[in-house]
Chain A
Amino acid sequence: MASNKKYWKSEAELNPNDSIVETLKGNEFVEHIPVDDFLGDKENLADSSTTRRDFLKYVGFSTAAATMAACEGPVRKSVPYVIQPENIVPGVANYYATTIADGYDFASILVKTREGRPILIKNNDRASVLGGANARINASVLSLYDKKRVQGPMANGEAIEWNVLDATVKAKLAGLQNSGKQVALLTQTYASPSTKKLIGEFSEKFGNVTHVTYDAISEDAALSAFEASYGERALADYDFSKADLIVSFAADFLGDWNGGGYDSSYAKGRIPKNGKMSRHIHLEANMSLTGANADTRMPMKPSQIKTALAKLYGKLNGSTVGGGSSDIDGAVDALATEIRKAGRKAVVVCGLNDLDAQTVTLAINTLLQSEAFDVERPRYVRQGHSASVNTLIANMKAGRIGALLIDGVNPAYTLPNASDFLEGLGSVDLSVYFAFNNDETANAVTHVAAASHYLESWGDAELKKGHLSLQQPVIRELFDTRQFQSCLLNWMGSEVAYHDYVKENWTTSFLNGGNWNKALQDGIYKMSDSSESESVEEAVQSSEEESATEEMTVASLSSSLRSLTSVSDAGMELALYSKVGMGDGKQANNPWLQEFPDPITRVSWDNYITVSKADAEELELENYNVANGGLDGSYANITVDGTTLERVPVIIQPGQAKGTVGLSFGYGREAGMQQEMATGVNAYALYKDFNDVQSVSVSKAEGIHEFACIQLHNTLMGRGDIIKETTLNEFNTEDPHVWNPVPEVSLDHQEVPATTVDLWESFDRSIGHHFNMSIDLNACTGCGACVIACHAENNVPVVGKNEIRLSRDMHWLRIDRYYSSEDTFGADVEEKDAAEEGYKNTMLDLENPATNPQVAFQPVMCQHCNHAPCETVCPVAATAHSRQGHNHMAYNRCVGTRYCANNCPYKVRRFNWFLYNNNDEFDYYMNNDLGKMVLNPDVNVRSRGVMEKCSWCIQMTQKTILDAKKEGREVKDGEFQTACSSACSSGAIVFGDVNDKESKVAKLKKDDRMYHLLEHVGTQPNVFYHVKVRNTNEA
């Protein structure tokens, strides 16, 4: 039975002798009030020249002064527009569709603006491709207000005017035309047809132009493999909703693999419908978000994964692929059997940046004729060409480059051979960098052109063939900045504005008589049928060509297979990866992302190497919790091919394949960063030859690292029945009460279902709206977009690394990550009850639960209990219930007793230990005028000493109701949303009115999988969860 599993959040919990864990379970607030901070220093106190009398005088005076000052309010000024823009009404939000295409994150999004300020990013639900914003995209609105932005063009560190820069560049470009030296453009992936055309025209005009596209985290192998087979440099696309079986070879497709954004199609197949759901098998080294969601996860070294992939192809093809160790044959056999069974409904994806592996993956999917595999309409979101980057650097060094224009990339930071690049830069006469921050590259170039944020720019993107989207500015440039394309036009001597250029290009090339304004409003445009049929024809043609070249491919394929299996086991392997919160590190100066806890390790403000428990023991690396709940860990020195990163913090990661370590990109930036945000180590230094798997040696270093890890914070105190899960087999065959039992309590010495017992008198909520929220543990991938959306919508403060370490994180919504082991220990609970010692021994006896645990994610916010324990203990009635189901929190009434948080069984209340705004101690976005522009004016910014918690975005439900009242109509289903539910692209979080019997949430509430968190406590929460069903292969 599912609920008898032992769940754990941290490695430490598996250690029966860890007293810290027990203490933490017993304490709501880890720390006592830090009296010692200001009274503990006895010596200083004794030295003070202030006598007791003086002190009392000061207190008396300041109290009196404050009282007098409070008697008269300040005079406030209101300055209305002189000429009010037609579509801005103060107090009413406007939404604009636009596109983010920053070279790493691509998505069609909606931007909410208030009084002309962008304040929130939402998913563009009209987009069928990449319409969901991940955590980073959600946070990108704050990057717009980054106080460290470059605010105007510069030459050699001195501010200059744009016209000076223009003149310099124009003169140089003209001078270079017949000099034999090249003009080089080093840019991000744009996926933009207009930019492509523009760069084409630019090259044509100047003749000697080379354009190099560079992705900081390369998908070069996948692009090249696709190019070799299909003649176009693009990425094969996959539709996971069409797959019954997904086999992933280290492809973190819920993360950033292939440009990301597969959550929604994946989640569609993961919700059991008519007894069926997709099955997901995952082979990987690091515990990734995708691996955590898999039904079966096999931790393997990257070299083994390659072998497995080759062998799988052999099995499916009927040929034998020899070589490699034989211990994975069994696993491959099982895989092949399952894939054969699924037939066209199976899909294989591969995340190894290895040309052979990618070629074989394409071959397998072609062989399977997988329905989820789409090569006719590939994705264009990665275009980087690693070899040409190296060629460019060689040319730079050889002095063959006269002018270098860089946009959207930060090569001095992201290149593994950054020193070569910097050396080459010295031989380039004119280097212009479109910089957002004063980063590493900006410090090395001759000229810095201040770049606009994507929310200030025009543009377009073809994310997938035939699926176009438009980018429009939602705010005028905050500073004296320009976008790259406008400058190119200017430097070409064109008078055309880039907006007109894009519009012209669209009207002539894509719109086909379609309406530009409509496309701009939608943000997306799907090519009409006529153009579609063209592309189909092209595809047919290309498939004909394909058969012609098939002979060739077979030859190259067998060589690929051979090289895959001939990979030798090279000792410890380092698998570099991108973190959900940080990506390639472009937004490293964004405090929301720094404070965003990694979904797997739950560590914020850091990167670190992840090692398996076995390796950690061997290397004497350790993690342990200290008395205040903070996690401490060893440091390690890691060396790849002569390059050593010293003192890298170590996290022992359950599920990490033995013999591997993981390290994430995007950290360790220093130039142009705020001091607080300069965290972690730079993994790009180890990214040799753009290969994310490296042979590495790890050794323990001196010292202990203090992590800001919220792993053990806010635990539900071992109350059980938090996560309920079952297998698909059990789900299909057994009664719901077997896999989703209602807990029983004793009433008059009779065991009765907990739901029937009520300590309180019930309030009639059948009239009006009654909000409920459904969270499907099957659909939730743990991506964390909701956490950032909540941050943005509700003005949740950033508290910084030290405060996080002290368990003072302010996230209203946390995504708990639970580990459990493959085996079920039915007897555990009984034993635990019988004797604590016995229980501990059982845990010790288990082989090692940390080797390959199962993972479950559970978003937990205020449960808005109908019988809320917090409400009954508040001495000032600051928290009260509404008939609509909200648990209200009146901040101005709260006196900060924290009784409510102590009495909350779900640990969702957050206390403002400090004033987090206008306070230099917390120098994040709420401490400067620029950053404050992101605040939502409809939500209070809380002050010190008050309790806060999830409000279920009451400002949003109230607005929906008001809109309906104004229009004199009923509220339609789907109109009620919260920040998290609208940010959830996988559809895991559904919010609505259960009194509307036809609503989605009302139907979900009747589902057999529905359960409440800690049902036996009798709080009757208005948030309910759906039992997680795993499609394990036990049947």
Chain B
Amino acid sequence: MMKKVFDRVQIAKVFGLSLLLIFQLFSISTYAQDEAAPEGAAEEAAADLGGDPVKGKQLFNQNCAACHALNRKMTGPALANVETRLAEEEGLDKEWLYSWIKNSAGMIAAGDAYANSIYNEYNQAAMTAFPTLSNADIDDILAYTAAPPPAPVATAATAVGDDASGSGSGGISNEMILGALAVIFALLVVMLVLVNRTLRRIAEANGVELATALGEQRVPIWKAFAQNQFLVFCTVVVFLLASAYGAYAWMSQVGIDQGYAPIQPIHYSHKIHAGDNKIECQYCHSSARVSKHSGIPSLNVCMNCHKSIYEYQGNPEGPSAEDLANGYTNEFYTNEIKKLYKAVGWDEENQRYTGESQPVEWVRIHNLPDFAYFNHAQHVTAGKIECQTCHGPVEEMEIMYQYSPLTMGWCINCHRETEVQVADNGYYKKIHEELSKKYGVEKLTAAQMGGLECGKCHY
């Protein structure tokens, strides 16, 4: 397998993207109407439970969602219709739930039978106590859990269906536009010919003679050129220089993988993580602060969040047309999360690690040769440089690619231009004073600090 650079694909994507965006504008309004329906239904249902499901949803997301889902076991049990379920199956009333939510540990200690059984069922993971929630708050939450689930699967399916047809029509209309353009162009040509003919007729009618046979005595241009030796010489020189320049340019890019965007074993979208969800780069790439490696996060870091984020729900308005064109549906992303679970050995059913892991073999994108030493900590912690300076708009990258050329010239140039972050750093205090006096400048560049010396990177 060899690396391939995706420049052309990129351009095609940008073009397609802009077209799709236009169609997006048309489709959004239809979704909005669809979504309104379940909301209304929920409100109706909540009315008989004495709680406000809308407030409840908010509270649920703030307090409960880290460990509970409505229709699915997580760290704790699924909570859809929990009140009814408890009343019917265990004969426990709302009061039991109030005290459980406010102080579960107390109930376990007090020896409540169901409290203990549920505690043991979920690996003795103690539930956080929520003494701050009032009974009314809990009512709201219960109202939310009691609301009939808005059949997410069905909606998603219809959404997908809509989208599919949407993107399909997008394709057709694309051709239609081109077709229309072609027709218009053809019409123009026909009109031009017609006009031309008419004009000629008029001219003939008026007795104007058209010059047609003027060029016969002239020497053809190419012959004249071949006879002029100086011109030939100059052309050859220019041609040689140009091809030498071309060859040099071509050879210079050998081994430079700018734009390299390999397919990874798990489709990890920086756009979703760093862009949409605004997760700090160094939350996952934590060793960039202290080590020469930025580090590919170990899978347990992924699981910090993905223990509870087991499916991709995407934007509230659903996947964009562009995503859909690429096949990035919600199911697609959810499937990628499943790949993560498989790799890390997470048993989703029972919410525990199986211990059977399959380390992920990521394809390395940024690859400096062995003879060049690069230290992330130097640039991130000491130099306070944004990750994006070298890695580009990662938060917009659906597929991670190498943004910078990573050539020595590129490094050197940055060292020449970048100012050293001397402020509040005790290390630089003395050297900054002395050097700024020596060079007569207030700000020092990395180069002035010796950042261009061979041995700083090559040893």
Given contacts A83-B298, A91-B287, A92-B290, contact A78 B364 (CB under 8 A): yes
Instruction: Decide: A971 and B427 in contact? CB cutoff 8 A.
Output: yes
Q: Which of these, B296, B357, B430, B459, contacts A951 with CB under 8 Å?
A: B459
B359 adjacent to chain A (CB < 8 Å): yes
In the complex, the answer to whether A962 meets B382 with C-beta atoms within 8 Å is yes
Task: For residue A72, give the distance in angstroms from its CB to the closest CB of chain B.
Answer: 4
CA distance A967 to B290 in the complex (A): 11
Q: Return chain B residues, CB-CB under 8 Å to A971.
A: 427
Question: Which B residues lie within 8 Å of A958 (CB)?
Answer: 456
**CA–CA, A965 and B449, complex, Å:** 13
Contact A75 B424 (CB under 8 A): no
| Separation of A81 and B459 alpha carbons in the complex (Å) | 28
Q: Is A337 an interface residue (CB 8 A)?
A: no
Contact assessment for B295 and A890 in the assembled complex, using a CB-CB cutoff below 8 Å:
no
Complex-state Cα separation, A83 to B357, whole angstroms: 9
With A75-B1, A90-B287, A962-B378 as contacts: A882 and B262 at CB distance below 8 Å: no
Bound CA–CA A264/B456 (angstroms)? 34
**Interface bits A432-456 vs B (CB < 8 Å: 1, else 0):** 0000000000000000000000000
Q: Is A954 an interface residue, CB under 8 A from the partner?
A: yes
Which residue of B255, B291, B357 contacts A92 across the interface (Cβ within 8 Å)? B291
Q: Does B223 contact A (CB under 8 A)?
A: no
Q: State the majority secondary structure of interface residues on B.
A: loop
Residues of B within 8 A of A71 (CB): 254-255
A965 to B421 CA separation, bound complex (whole angstroms): 10
B218 within 8 A of A: no
B80 close to A (CB within 8 Å): no
Q: How far is the CA of A867 from the CA of B367 in the complex (A)?
A: 36
Min C-beta distance of A723 to chain B, whole Å = 30
Query: In the bound complex, do residue B361 and residue A79 qualify as a contact, i.e. CB atoms below 8 Å apart?
Result: yes
CB < 8 Å neighbour of A91 from B1, B293, B363, B424: B293
Chain A residue nearest to B450 (CB atoms) is A883
The answer to whether B300 and A890 have CB atoms under 8 Å apart is no
Q: Among A208-216, A238-246, A839-847, A934-942, which stretch is in contact with chain B?
A: A934-942
B291 is contacted by which of A89, A889, A941, A954 (Cβ under 8 Å)? Answer: A89
Of the candidates B290, B425, B450, B455, the one whose C-beta lies within 8 Å of that of A89 is B290
From 293 to 321 in chain B, residues with beta carbon under 8 angstroms from any chain A beta carbon are: 293, 295-301
Q: Which of B3, B382, B430, B450 is the one whose CB lies under 8 Å from A882? A: B450
A-B contact pairs, 25 of them (CB 8 A): A75-B1, A75-B363, A79-B359, A80-B297, A80-B359, A82-B343, A82-B357, A82-B359, A83-B300, A84-B298, A91-B291, A767-B434, A768-B434, A888-B458, A892-B458, A893-B458, A938-B373, A940-B371, A954-B455, A962-B382, A965-B378, A965-B382, A968-B427, A969-B426, A971-B427
Across the interface, A767 reaches (CB within 8 A) one of B255, B377, B431, namely B431
Decide: B291 and A82 in contact? CB cutoff 8 A: no
B291 and A962 contact, CB distance less than 8 A? no
In the complex, number of A-B residue pairs with CB atoms less than 8 Å apart: 165
In Å, the complex CA distance between A107 and B12 comes to 66
Q: Which residues of B contact A938 (CB under 8 A)?
A: 292, 373
**Shortest distance between the CB of A1002 and any CB in chain B (Å):** 15
Chain B residues closer than 8 Å to A82, beta-carbon distance? 298-300, 343-345, 357, 359
* B40 contacts the other chain (CB 8 A): no
B252 to chain A, nearest CB (A): 12
Q: Does A73 contact B (CB under 8 A)?
A: yes
Q: Which residues of B contact A79 (CB under 8 A)?
A: 359-362
Answer yes or no: B216 CB below 8 A from chain A CBs.
Answer: no
Q: Let me know if A89 and B287 touch, CB within 8 A.
A: yes
Q: Chain A 923-961 against B: per-residue CB contact (8 Å), 1 yes, 0 no?
A: 000000000000000111100000000010011001001
By Cβ-Cβ distance, the 7 closest A-B pairs, closest first, are A888-B455, A91-B291, A84-B298, A965-B382, A81-B298, A91-B293, A80-B296
Which residues does chain A contribute within 8 Å of B209, judged by CB atoms?
A: none
A880 within 8 A of B: yes
User: Is B435 located at the chain interface by the 8 A CB criterion?
Assistant: yes
Segment 414-459 of B: residues with Cβ below 8 Å from A: 424-431, 434-435, 438, 449-450, 453-456, 458-459
Chain A proximity mask over B241-285: 1 for CB below 8 Å, otherwise 0: 000000000000011010000100000000000000000000000
Q: Which of B293, B360, B453 contacts A883 (CB 8 A)?
A: B453
Cα–Cα distance between A77 and B3 once the two chains are bound (Å)? 12
Q: What is the size, in residues, of chain A's interface with B at 8 Å between Cβ atoms?
A: 53
| Contacts known (A80-B297, A92-B287, A968-B427); A951 close to B455, Cβ less than 8 A | yes
Which residues of A are found within 8 Å of B357, using beta-carbon distances?
Answer: 82-83
Q: Which residues in B have their C-beta under 8 angstroms from that of A954?
A: 455, 459
Instruction: Return the CB mask of A758-770 against B: 1 if under 8 Å, else 0.
Output: 0000001011100
A882:B453 contact, CB within 8 angstroms: yes
Task: Tell me whether A941 and B370 are in contact (CB under 8 A).
Answer: yes
Give B357 Cβ to nearest chain A Cβ, in Å: 4
For A878-895 the 0/1 string (1 means CB < 8 A from B) is 101011101011111100
Instruction: Report chain B residues within 8 Å CB of A939.
Output: 459
Q: In chain B between 1 and 53, which residues have their CB closer than 8 angstroms to a CB of chain A?
A: 1-3
Query: B351 within 8 Å of A by Cβ?
Result: no
Chain B interface size range: 35 or more
Kindly provide the distance from the CB of A808 to the nearest chain B CB, expressed in whole angstroms.
Answer: 22
Alpha-carbon separation in the docked complex, A767 to B433 (Å): 10
Within the complex, the shortest CB–CB distance from B427 to chain A, in Å, comes to 5
A961-975: contact bitstring with B at CB < 8 Å (1 yes, 0 no)? 110111111110000
At the interface, is chain A mostly helix, strand, loop or mixed? loop
A39 located at the interface, meaning its Cβ lies under 8 Å from any Cβ of chain B in the complex: no
B455 near A73 (CB under 8 angstroms)? no
Complex Cα gap A971–B370 (Å)? 28
A70 within 8 A of B: yes
In angstroms, Cα B285 to Cα A78, docked, is 14
Question: In the bound complex, how far is the Cα of B367 from the Cα of A768, in angstroms?
Answer: 32
Chain B residues, CB < 8 A from A955: 373, 459
**B431:A940 contact, CB within 8 angstroms:** no
A42 close to chain B: CB less than 8 A:
no
Residues of A within 8 A of B435 (CB): 767-768
Q: Which A residues from 69 to 110 make CB contacts under 8 A with B?
A: 70-84, 89-92
A70 engages B378 (CB within 8 Å): no
What residues of A have a CB within 8 angstroms of the CB of B293 in the complex?
A: 90-91
| CB–CB A72/B3 < 8 A | yes
Instruction: Find B296's partner among A70, A72, A78, A892 (CB 8 Å cutoff).
Output: A78
- B421 CB to nearest chain A CB (Å): 9
Residue B369 at the chain A interface, CB threshold 8 Å = yes
Q: Does B375 contact A (CB under 8 A)?
A: yes
User: Is B430 in contact with A970, judged by CB distance below 8 angstroms?
Assistant: yes
Known: A91-B291, A968-B426; 17 extra A-B contacts, CB below 8 A, are: A71-B254, A73-B2, A73-B3, A75-B364, A80-B296, A82-B344, A82-B345, A89-B291, A91-B295, A878-B454, A880-B453, A890-B455, A940-B370, A951-B455, A965-B425, A965-B427, A966-B382
B295 adjacent to A90 (CB under 8 Å) = yes
**How far, in whole Å, are A938 and B373 apart by their CA atoms in the complex?**
8
Say yes or no: A83 contacts B299, CB within 8 Å.
yes
Nearest CB of chain A from residue B396's CB, rounded to whole Å: 23
- Give the chain A neighbours of B2 by CB distance below 8 A: 72-75
> Which chain A residues (700-749) contact chain B, with CB distance < 8 Å?
none
Say yes or no: is B350 at the interface (Cβ < 8 Å to chain A): no
Q: Flag whether B413 is at the interface (Cβ < 8 A).
A: no
In the complex, chain A residues whose CB is within 8 Å of the CB of B300: 81-84
Closest to B431 in A: A768
CB neighbours (8 Å) of A967 from chain B are 427
Q: Closest B residue to A939 by CB, please name it.
A: B459
A889 CB contacts on chain B under 8 angstroms: 454-455, 459
Contact A73–B364 (Cβ < 8 Å): no
Confirm or deny: B381 has a beta carbon within 8 angstroms of a beta carbon on chain A: yes
Is the beta-carbon distance between B455 and A886 smaller than 8 angstroms? yes
Contact of A892 among B292, B369, B427, B431 (CB under 8 A): B369
Complex: how many Å from CA A880 to CA B431?
22
CA distance A889 to B456 in the complex (A): 10
Return the chain B residue nearest A767 by Cβ. Answer: B434
A243 to B86, CA, bound (A): 86
Given the complex, which residues of A lie within 8 Å of B296, measured CB to CB? 78, 80
